[in-house]
Amino acid sequence: MTVLEWVYAATFAMLGVGVLFALHRLVRGPSVLDRIVCLNAVSVLVVSAIAVGSALRGGAAYVGLMVTVALLGFVGTLTAARFAERRAHDRG
């Protein structure tokens, strides 16, 4: 195993741990806004994992997938934040 393969393996491991921590906070989050931030963090980590996998394979075939996941994460975060804001405004 070359040094670069070790770096890719370590990067995937760290991204996996980050996703686990974010999912843990998503489940235990004390507020809706914490959960929204965690969903955004998970989408960023997924895009990062796709980018590392694309670099490992040496191609740019997954750029469209990365852009799609990033845009879905962004739009989902905006929608959830807007919903949380309206919900907080309606409560008083």
Is 50 within 8 Å of 15 (Cβ atoms)? no
Of the candidates 78, 23, 77, the one whose C-alpha atom is nearest the C-alpha of residue 45 is 23
Residue with tokens 């965690």: 38
Q: Over the chain (92 residues), what is each successive 10-residue block's mean pLDDT? A: 93 97 91 88 95 90 93 92 84 74
Provide the 10 A C-beta neighbour count for residue 80: 17
Q: What is the pLDDT of residue 86?
A: 86
Q: What pTM was computed for the model? A: 0.85
What pLDDT score was predicted for residue 92? 67
| Listed residue (81, 90, 71) closest to 35, CA to CA | 81
Task: State the Cα–Cα distance between residues 91 and 6, nearest whole angstrom.
Answer: 52
